Structure 1
Amino acid sequence: MIIVHDVLQAREIIKEVVHETPILHSSQLSTISENQMYCKAEHLQKTGSFKIRGATNKVKQAVREGATYVTAASSGNHGQAVAYIAKQLGIPSTIVVPVDAKESKVNAIKAYGGSIEKCGTTSAERLPKAKELAVQHNGTFIPPYDDPFIMAGQGTIGLEILEQLEDVDVVVVPIGGGLLSGILVAIKQTKPKVKIIGVEPETANDTYLSLQNKKITSITRTSTIADGLRTSQPGDMTFPILQQYLDDLVLVSEEEIKVAQNFVLERMKQLIEPSSAVTVAAAMNKKLGITGKNVVCVLSGGNVDIQV
């Protein structure tokens, strides 16, 4: 299990690559949810999502240990981040994406210098392929979330939130793996009174089921619009952190996600992807179970296929 020291160390390692993203306030969302609502704008992050934080921390570690080639399995954002930082460090990368990956994300990976390999529709199918390619080419596999360096990198978001909004009461985070676990460690080991709420799509509720069953539980294929949250099951490393620190978990429907995404675009003038919109959806539909608090919704990414 990582500790806050690992997150602080990651911050020093990645600071020359990543942006410190702003926190935006929404008066209308505040009125709707009956809280003071803020959004941590990771959709404005380099490569368009929070993933560059963990990827930079992990790929730099791999290069320090002699890596000359890296692979990753990704629905898009993690792949973009790995391709970007690999190119910056002067090594090739191959990204294994689902067969139905959004064209905009595939094109972005290519633009960042990554090679593309398509495989299946779930993380359970992509991960073995990416590991196989790494072995074949004597390279290093970069996990999407279940890795201490990935988690520590994502946790730097938590440190920034505490500094940018000192009187924060609640942080709402999409549940995809490393993002939530990293933020939990950063915040709970620094300011434990801050409440952390995770949000998952109803149709991709592997973490919800796992917490209910008190053990890692997998789900079958999901077609949720929040493609960045299509994990089959929680990670072996991330799940114990969620069990220890997570205050609450709520589920949102596909329609609620779509309405929230449109709200952020129309009212806040910010283009976010559906995986980001789950946190706003939870607030808009008063699923957080709180009023009168200072709440930060993490907007995890903004890589949207406009045609879709």
Structure 2
Amino acid sequence: MPLHINTPLVHSRALSILSGKSVLLKLDALQPSGSFKLRGVGAVCERFAQQGKSTFVSSSGGNAGIAVAYAGRQLSIPVTVVVPESTTDHAKKLIAQESAKVIVHGSSWMEANALAQSMLEDPSVAFVHPFDDPFMWSGHASMIDEVVAAKAHFDCVVLSVGGGGLLSGVVEGLLRNGLAHIPVVAIETQGADSLARSVSAGHLIELEAITSIATSLGAKKVCANAFELTTKHDIRCHTVSDLEAVNACEQFLIDHRLLVEPACGASLAAVYEHSHDLLADFQAPLVIVCGGATANPMQIQNWKKQLSS
């Protein structure tokens, strides 16, 4: 049995009325680790366990680290996660709650990742990348397998982009289910929009810094595969503001009784704030509610006050 679960696929009455479309939600916020990350991370960790690896090391802004920590605990393998200074105290607590060691280093994920990479001298130690691993993408693709198995009708996929692992997995899932014609609407927050800026520039770029509060989207450069996919698949990039993402989190909690973080709120904001133009070509969007266990209601309110001032 895989470490992830088959998550609910539900029709959102609230978002459908608001947008005038038939909106489906893939609720991966309900994964045991709190986000979609467990799909690919779990598959990678299980493979490393089968190879005899005795320790997992990862770098993460939050959700991938929680997923690795959860997988390690389930597999009885010790885990160390290096997180940047921008990672919330709540996220660090959740990683430690899974019996993993947490090291804080650097102002961004890339700096945290550099330290994690330096900890791999022992061949028994396995590095679990938070988003750039083809085997991981194949695990993430299972969410599309589940939607197709449910015989659901959808004409686009709306998702958030951080490092590009979710995007890579969803496109793989579409391809292996004969749905190469289905567009993907890729949402980032302003200040964490490395994919949109790369597409605009025509080449892969690295942001100077992450200025968005959506720290789970805080990869200064997306993986090369995600950028390459924009040249092969119908991927429509769009950015939303931090405030729009936070407002979407708040309204989603009211509408669906499910708390998500701004990284997930970004894709929800595409429907709450921009469905009239961004989704004008579609009638049945599938929104990946990727989750995020790292936010709490008080933090959402504090962000909203901060961004509204």
Query: How does the TM-score come out when normalised to structure 1?
Result: 0.90
What SS is found at the alignment partner of 2:103? strand
1:174 and 1:276 in contact (8 A); partners too: yes
1:227 and 1:275 in contact (8 A); partners too: yes
Instruction: Give the alignment partner of residue 260 of structure 2, picking from 263, 267, 272.
Output: 272
What SS is found at the alignment partner of 1:101? coil
Paired position in structure 2 for 1:244: 232
- Distance (whole Å) between structure 1 residues aligned to residue 246 and residue 206 of structure 2: 25
1:35 is aligned to 2:21: yes
Paired position in structure 2 for 1:6: none
Paired position in structure 1 for 2:80: 94
* Matched residues, number: 294
- The residue type equivalent to 1:179 in the other structure is L
Paired position in structure 1 for 2:207: 219
- Distance (whole Å) between structure 2 residues aligned to residue 116 and residue 134 of structure 1: 16
Alignment of 1:9-88 (within 5 A): 15-88=1-74
- Distance (whole Å) between structure 2 residues aligned to residue 150 and residue 121 of structure 1: 26
- The residue type equivalent to 2:288 in the other structure is V
- Distance (whole Å) between structure 2 residues aligned to residue 307 and residue 270 of structure 1: 14
Paired position in structure 2 for 1:3: none
Alignment of 1:121-270 (within 5 A): 121-135=107-121, 138-176=124-162, 177-190=164-177, 191-270=179-258
Q: 1:164 offset after TM fit, Å?
A: 2.6
Paired position in structure 2 for 1:288: 278
Question: Which consecutive unaligned segments of at least 5 residues does structure 1 have?
Answer: 1-14
- Distance (whole Å) between structure 1 residues aligned to residue 12 and residue 290 of structure 2: 17
Q: 1:193 offset after TM fit, Å?
A: 2.6
Q: Measured at CA, do residues 121 and 162 of structure 1 come closer, stay the same or move farther in structure 2, by a change above 3 Å?
A: farther
Q: 1:136 offset after TM fit, Å?
A: 5.6
- The residue type equivalent to 2:77 in the other structure is I
Where do 4+ consecutive residues of structure 1 move more than 4 Å? none
- Distance (whole Å) between structure 1 residues aligned to residue 251 and residue 141 of structure 2: 27
1:185 and 1:241 in contact (8 A); partners too: no
Paired position in structure 1 for 2:101: 115
Paired position in structure 1 for 2:291: 301
Q: Measured at CA, do residues 170 and 146 of structure 1 come closer, stay the same or move farther in structure 2, by a change above 3 Å?
A: same
1:42 and 1:298 in contact (8 A); partners too: yes
Question: Which consecutive unaligned segments of at least 5 residues does structure 2 have?
Answer: 300-309
2:2 and 2:43 in contact (8 A); partners too: no
Q: Measured at CA, do residues 165 and 214 of structure 1 come closer, stay the same or move farther in structure 2, by a change above 3 Å?
A: farther
2:35 and 2:63 in contact (8 A); partners too: yes
Q: 1:241 offset after TM fit, Å?
A: 2.7
- Distance (whole Å) between structure 2 residues aligned to residue 36 and residue 188 of structure 1: 23
Q: 1:26 offset after TM fit, Å?
A: 1.9
What SS is found at the alignment partner of 1:47? coil
2:156 and 2:185 in contact (8 A); partners too: yes
Q: Measured at CA, do residues 306 and 262 of structure 1 come closer, stay the same or move farther in structure 2, by a change above 3 Å?
A: closer
Q: 1:64 offset after TM fit, Å?
A: 2.1
- The residue type equivalent to 1:41 in the other structure is L
Q: Measured at CA, do residues 117 and 238 of structure 1 come closer, stay the same or move farther in structure 2, by a change above 3 Å?
A: same
Q: Measured at CA, do residues 249 and 139 of structure 1 come closer, stay the same or move farther in structure 2, by a change above 3 Å?
A: same
Q: 1:300 offset after TM fit, Å?
A: 0.6
Paired position in structure 1 for 2:302: none
